[in-house]
Amino acid sequence: MLKRKAFAGVFVIFLSVLVMVGCSSDEEANSSSGGDKTIEFMHLWPEGSSAQHNKIVSDIIKDFESEHDGVTIDLEVLSNEQYKDKLKVLSTSNELPDVGMTWAAGFLEPYVDGEMFTPLDDLLEGDLNDSFVSGTAEAYEIDGSTYGLPLELNIATVFYNKAIFDQYGLEAPATYEELQQVVKTLNENDVAPIALGNKDRWTGSLWYMYLADRIGGAEVLTNAINRSGSFEDPALVEAADKVQELVDMDSFVKGFNGLSDEEAKSMFMNEQAAMYLIATWDLPNYTTNEDVPQEFRDSVGYFPFPTVEGEGDMNSFVGGPGVGLFVAEDSEVKEEAKEFASFFVQEWGEKSVTEAGVIPATKVDAGSLDLPDMYVDVLDDLNEATNITLFADVQMSADVAQVHLDMIQSLFGTEISPEDFAKEHEEALSAE
């Protein structure tokens, strides 16, 4: 009797699991075979970390669904890191969502090579003709076809705390030499000059890229990466040397190689550091974000990266489009998916700038919108920009980007000489 009970006990548990597993998978199978069309869409703005972005996306989806009978959008939201990992797993099984988010250039390339993303040229020639700021959609172009629709456009500038600058009688520096002077004065007064979170590494890369741009001109780094030039170009070595010069004079906050960008941002926003080089996606923190004290927001200004030894063009920027939308090649609802992507980009343009403080990659009529001063200034800068160099780690293929980022950390940690820094890059790039 007891024997049977024991038997039964074990098996009931084990079988019930199997049955439940079986049943629920049947359900899944049934629900997907309905007559209506479903577009799977994945994005990386959780309600948590990016409330405004998230809300705009929901609104756009609602609008699209109400305009298109019988089409539903099946949404999955992940935070940035998790999004990248999941996209990777999905691609190994060829299970990409119908519409999702991608980054430009180096990130995009393997997906295009593997024929995972579909070309969107017909959209660019049709509905979206002439709607993007020049240079943005091009970053998603490979072999003459465009595979992504950019959503944002960012440029990196140096934000600084005007209150701290005033206190010590400082002006926004226009040259590298003035910057050194500012750093010196701040250090003499025990104020940390520059917030930098170099655990994330692309943050230090911004400093290096700007110095390279000012010393060697807009093309030198890009040429080294696309192999029409060499990374051992004297200008690229000198830029590395200048980075170490800044490190040696304690320009950056203590322990920057172990701090994340978020921590560095906190230091700047809590007035523990006077300057912070970051891209314009941070503008809301200094203008419209109500969670940040008004007093602090009023005290923040920005200046374009200074010239070095009289060289360089202050209208040349580091930046580029951030995420863009892709449509999966194997999508079963490709036409609807493309339509959704196109609809998304058009609605995103205006909503994103007014509601989320994003500078969209689509052309905006700044004059007709009521924007904070700092936005107007940035948009002016963008109009006058002579060049925007795409973030180095985005330009490079994934494995070279890892080398670059590791080398940046070593360079800032003064564990490697500028010459070796250039040599390692050259080796990684020519091994491609």
- Of residues 5-64, which lie at the interface with another protein (CB under 8 A)? 6-7, 9-10, 13-14, 17, 20-21, 24-25, 28-29, 46-51
CB atoms within 10 A of CB 229: 17
Segment interacting with another protein, rule: CB under 8 A, options 58-66, 217-225, 250-258, 374-382: 250-258
> Minimum distance between the CB of residue 151 and another protein, rounded to whole angstroms?
18
DSSP H helical segments within 168-326, as ranges?
A: 176-188, 202-216, 220-225, 234-248, 261-269, 283-286, 294-298
Residue 202 or 317 with smaller CB distance to another protein: 202
The residues, any chain, with a CB within 8 Å of residue 417's CB and separated by 6 or more, are: none
**DSSP labels for 352-411?**
IIIII---BSB---GGGS---HHHHHHHHHHHH-SEEEE-HHHHS-HHHHHHHHHHHHHH
Contacts of 126 (CB under 8 A, 6+ apart): 342
Tokens of 431: 């091994």
- Cβ closer to another protein: 123 or 323? 323
Q: How far is the CB of 257 from another protein (least distance, A)?
A: 4
On the CB side of 70, CA atoms within 13 Å amount to: 6
Among residues 43, 199, 297, 351, which is the contact residue for another protein, using CB under 8 A?
A: 199
Please identify which residue in 143, 248, 290, 291 interacts with another protein, judged by CB under 8 A.
Answer: 291
CA dist 6 → 11, 19, 23, 349 (Å): 9, 20, 25, 65
Task: Tell me if 299 contacts another protein by CB under 8 A.
Answer: no
Site string for another protein, 372-401 (x = CB under 8 A): -------------------------xxx-x
Nearer to another protein, 14 or 168 (CB): 14
Name the residue nearer to another protein (CB basis): 63 or 85. 85
Is 2 a binding residue for another protein by CB under 8 A? The answer is yes
Contact window for another protein (CB under 8 A) among 196-204, 206-214, 337-345, 365-373: 196-204
In the region spanning residues 255 to 284, those forming contacts with another protein, defined by CB under 8 A, are: 255-260, 262-263, 265-267, 269-270, 272
Q: How far is the CB of 254 from another protein (least distance, A)?
A: 4
Minimum Å gap between C-beta 261 and another protein is 9
